[in-house]
């Protein structure tokens, strides 16, 4: 069947692949993401007609992993407390650099038609204090020649 050398080579190959995938996964999921700036993208008339408000959001992404990652795209759902606010997506491919901070351009889309007046009031009231933000979604990273979708979840508190 398999000689000891072939078994050792197979086990070594599997371990090397597992270490590579683990280091990429850690590099993607350990990145810190913070907001650099936000500007309104949608005018009030468009917001009223479509029920959506869009913002240009520039994120500072700091890589804490061992390797730099090329990322095709991501999609995150944003929650303030338990209230679903909208989605944030990137506008172009980007890199999570190991040990460095880069700024990436994203678009935040808020569907105001799904928010109740109570939700909007809760959001406005929390702006002056601490605002719990939860991000849930995925990042498509390029590992070697493959595109792998990795989950990304983060809880943070923004202070007003």
Domain containing 20: what range? 4-159
Please give the chain's pLDDT, 160 residues, in tens.
568 888 899 999 999 988 888 888 888 778 888 888 888 888 878 877 888 888 898 989 999 988 898 999 989 998 887 888 889 999 999 999 999 999 999 998 988 877 777 776 666 665 556 777 888 999 898 887 889 898 888 887 766 5
d(CA 52, CA 43): 10
Residue among 111, 128, 108, 129 nearest 119 (CA): 111
Residue 7 backbone class (left: φ over 0; alpha: ψ -120 to 50; beta: rest): alpha
Half-sphere CA count of 108, side-chain side, radius 13 A: 20
CATH of the domain at 34: 2.60.40
Give pTM, 2 decimals: 0.73
Number of domains the chain contains: 1
pLDDT of res. 77? 93
């Amino acid at each position: 069947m398999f000689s000891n050398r072939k078994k050792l080579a197979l086990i070594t190959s599997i371990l090397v692949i597992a270490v590579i995938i683990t280091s990429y996964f850690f590099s993607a999921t350990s990145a810190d993401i913070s907001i650099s700036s936000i500007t309104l993208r949608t005018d009030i008339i468009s917001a009223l007609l479509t029920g959506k408000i869009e913002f240009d959001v520039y994120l500072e992404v700091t890589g804490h992993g061992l390797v730099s990652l090329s990322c095709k795209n991501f999609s995150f759902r944003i929650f303030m407390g338990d209230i679903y606010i909208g989605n944030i997506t990137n506008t172009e491919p980007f890199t999570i650099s190991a040990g460095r901070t880069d700024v990436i351009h994203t678009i935040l889309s808020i569907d105001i038609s799904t928010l109740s007046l109570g939700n909007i009031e809760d959001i406005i009231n929390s702006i002056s204090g601490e605002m719990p933000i939860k991000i849930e979604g995925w990042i498509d990273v390029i590992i070697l020649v493959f595109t792998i979708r990795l989950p990304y979840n983060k809880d943070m508190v923004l202070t007003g």
